[in-house]
Structure formats: structure tokens, C-alpha cells
Amino acid sequence: MTPSSRLLAARQPVTSLPFDHAEGCWVYSPDGQRFMDASSGLICVNVGHAHPAVLQALTEQARKGAFASPGSLTPRLQERFAQAVTKAVGRPEDRVTFACTGTAAVEMAIALARSVQRARGEAHRHKVLTASLSYHGNSALALALSGHRRRRPHPDDGLGLGPAFDPPYPGHHRNCPLDICDSGCATEVDAAIEEAGADSVAAVLVEPVNGTTGGGYRPPDGYLRAVRDICTAHGVLLIHDEVLTGLGRTGLPLAAHHSPGSDADFTVLAKGLGAGYLPISAVLMSPEAAEDLLSADMPVPLMGTMSATPLQATVGMATLSVLEDIGALDRERVRGAVVTDAVGKATQDLAVVADTRGCGYFLGVELTPGTQRRALALSREQGLLLYPFNGFQPDGGGEGVIVAPPLNISEEETAFLGSALRETFERLNSETPRAPSIDRTRGAA
């Protein structure tokens, strides 16, 4: 941002590059330089830029009619889109409502969960419990609930809300009795429900794989299932925020698919649905929750003006069909191992890399303190654009870069990504004095 800029935008660790156009995994500057978009924009351009099938759908539908009021016109395309979304993530019996952003869909899921509780006669259940390392969006409510340390609202603005339990990640589960968290650490969720007063809790809201707050921490085996069981035992609804992870980002259609038996009552999708072409998000609701809600004589919180226009529905169906064609919606096969391996090899045996985590096409590389800015600069010299993540440690420190290319990255492009990353981290390593290693066991602080 220059001093004369009229644009209010987030400060970035390195200056932004001039943009001309983009195609596939690549973005081009006006002088013809190209960079691999190795974080898919903001981890959303999951089918690559300027995909011909999506562009065709977009332009044809825009010519036919971008908007048609569902107040008076049959939402035929939206109905087809709803069916396509539920099928895409293996929840064909679900009901769906659409919105534009991940934030709006998370808020919609919360509103629906509270309504379902009331429809069930649970009049006092309104609280929503979240993890102390999490991000759920930038509205007042979502920020108040998110455990994003850098984005926590001022205490006066937090609506009296805040995260309720520690997640089972190294260094983040305070007072964990184990060296490494296991599924038993879900007792934190149980304790948080008890502490809030079980009959006042409407829902638990979690990211099944941690997103950009921590750079892809994965819960231990069995943890999400245990959370599911705890919620069921308390009559609490479970919301999975799959805004970032949904639709193939972690190698399966949903991140929750890595954890059998963990199915949520509500699943929230966003980034990969519009895939950077249009703002589209969705809340999927289980048939049981939908039946209770719809059979009660009460208003249902639904639709905003731009909730699934024919244009959004058509583009959403086009991205889903590309994802299906590339196998990203196949539940039987975990995809992305080549990308995960490339990142693993690029970071191997380098002291500057504190940790590598994540799965599929979503990897976080944690770096030693004070090196992130240089890593971003060096990666650009190698023709890569990466996404920074910061401030995830309980003491406010912690820095790293996200590697999250489009899900249709080719073998050749993956090889480029691997060698450009290796060169970046080797150079960073050789420039960086050795720092003491970080203790990642036993939840500190």
C-alpha cells in the first residue's frame, strides 16, 4: 500500500506484485514475468485460474440471466446446484442453503443450529463453543468466536464471547497430561460443554483440519469421532467449518472424511465452491436437523439477496464438475500425495524449517522466528507465490508459509514447485544463523 492509496487492505509482510492475468497455476505480471500461484490465491482457486469450462459456464449464464428472484421465479438452477453440492461431499440427503462468503455461511450455520435446538424444545441452547486456535470469519460474531490470536477483537468488541476449549495440537493443548495429544484430548470439549452449562450449548464449531491459523495441524486419530460422540451425548449440534478444507483441499472431498464416524450435523463450504470465480458458500444440514426445523412452526433464517443466483449456481456446478473430473470428489482415494511429498522433500533436514504439517494439497511449513519475510522474498525469486501465516503460538509468536496449489496442478508443475521450494528453503537456511530448536511437546503456556 503506497501512502497515496485509497484502498484499506491488510498489511502484508512483502510488497504486492503488479497483476496482469492468470491461467491455470500461473499468474502473470504486466512485464510478462510468471509466478506459480502456489497458494491458489487465498486457498480458493482450487481448479486453477481461467479454467475453460468454468469460464464458459460463467459467460453463457451471464448472457442468459445473472439474477432471478427466488421470491417469484422457480429456483431451478439453485435446486440442481444444491443436489450437486450434497452429492459432491457424500451427504446426498442433506438440505442446503447458500450464501456468498465463508463468514456468512458460518453465521448461517450458527443461526440454523440455534433454530434447530429451539425447534426441538431446547429453548435455552444458544451458545457456540470453538477452539482456542481456529478461524471462522471476519464478522463481529465470527471474530468473537474465532481463536485467531491476531484477529481477536478488542475485549470491548468481543460480544462477551471467546473460544472455549484447547485443540489437540502440539503446544496448543494447555496442561495436556500427555507428551503428544491423542483422541482422549476431546475431553476438553466435554469439559467446556459442562462448564458452559450443557443445556445452554447449541453447537460446537470446529475446523476438522486446522486452516491458516496454525498452518494445517491435524487432529489425532479418533479425536473428531470422540468430539462427535461427546456432542451427541450432550444433545449439542456439531458444525464442521470446511470453508477452506472442503471439496478436495486435504485430498478427500471433506477433511472430515479422514476421520470416519465424525460426520457433522452442519457442514460449511465456501472457498473451493466458487473457486475464486464468484463468491459462493453453502451450509449443508443433516436430514434429521432439517426435519426438526421444518416441522416446527417457526421462522427459518434463510436467503440473502445474493444467495445463489442462477449465475452462482451455474458457476458452482461448473467447478464441482471440474473437481469431479479430476477425481477430487472421490472418497475412496486420498489425493495430493505428490504435492505433500514434494513439500516434505523440499523442507527435509533444514534447520530453518521447524515443522511441516497438513495433508493433500494443504501444507504448512513452520519456520524459525524472524525468517518468514525473507522466505517470501526468496520464493518470489524462484517464481513462487506463497501465503504467510503468523502468530499461532500461545505466546503470540510463530510464523510460516502455506503451500496450497490448485488441485489440478500437473506432474511437471509439481516438480517445479518442489524444486523452487527446495531452492528457497536451502538459501534461507544458509542465510539463517542456527536458532535453538522449538519444544513442541506438552502444551506449554
Ligand X SMILES: Cc1ncc(COP(=O)(O)O)c(C=O)c1O
Closest CA to 440 of 106, 150, 181: 181
**Closest CB to ligand X belongs to which residue?**
102
169 contributes a contact to ligand X by CB under 6 A: no
Give CA–CA dist 313/81, Å, rounded: 5
| Of the candidates 93, 56, 20, the residue with the CA atom closest to the CA atom of residue 319 | 56
Residue selected from 243, 401, 420, 421 as contacting ligand X according to rule CB under 6 A: 243
Q: Which residues contact 120 (CB under 8 A, 6 or more apart)?
A: 235, 292
Among 166, 188, 207, 366, binds ligand X (CB under 6 A): 207
Instruction: Say which residues have a Cβ less than 8 Å from residue 115's Cβ, sequence separation at least 6.
Output: 293, 298, 300, 301
In the complex with ligand X, which residue's Cβ is closer, 392 or 416? 392
Taking CB under 6 A as the criterion, which residues in 259-318 touch ligand X? 270
* Least Å from the CB of residue 150 to ligand X: 13
Residue in 94, 188, 190, 241 binding ligand X, rule: CB under 6 A: 241
Grid cell 512485464 is found at: 31
Nearer to ligand X, 176 or 264 (CB): 264
Among 136, 228, 249, 374, binds ligand X (CB under 6 A): 136
Of the pair 281, 414, the CB lying nearest ligand X is at: 281
Rounded Cα gap, residues 169 and 155, in angstroms: 26
Q: Rounded to whole angstroms, how far apart are CA atoms 124 and 388? A: 41
Residue from 101, 259, 356, 424 binding ligand X (CB under 6 A): 101
Distance of alpha carbon 196 from the chain centroid = 26
- Give CA–CA dist 13/318, Å, rounded: 35
Interface region with ligand X, contact rule CB under 6 A, candidates 6-14, 97-105, 196-204, 409-417: 97-105
Query: Which of 98, 135, 217, 277 contacts ligand X by CB under 6 A?
Result: 135
8 Å CB contact between 352 and 370: no
Reported in sequence order, the residue ranges of 38-103 that DSSP labels E, i.e. its strands, are 95-99
Stretch that binds ligand X, among 24-32, 132-140, 188-196, 317-325 (CB under 6 A): 132-140
Alpha-carbon distance values, 134 to 77, 100, 130, 207 (Å): 34, 21, 7, 7
Name which position in 48, 75, 102, 253 contacts ligand X (CB under 6 A).
102
When the beta carbons of 346 and 403 are compared against ligand X, the nearer one is: 403
Q: What is residue 195's DSSP assignment? A: H
Of the candidate spans 95-103, 392-400, 408-416, 436-444, the one that interacts with ligand X by CB under 6 A turns out to be 95-103
Query: Which positions lie near ligand X, rule CB under 6 A?
Result: 101-103, 106, 135-138, 207, 211-212, 241, 243-244, 270
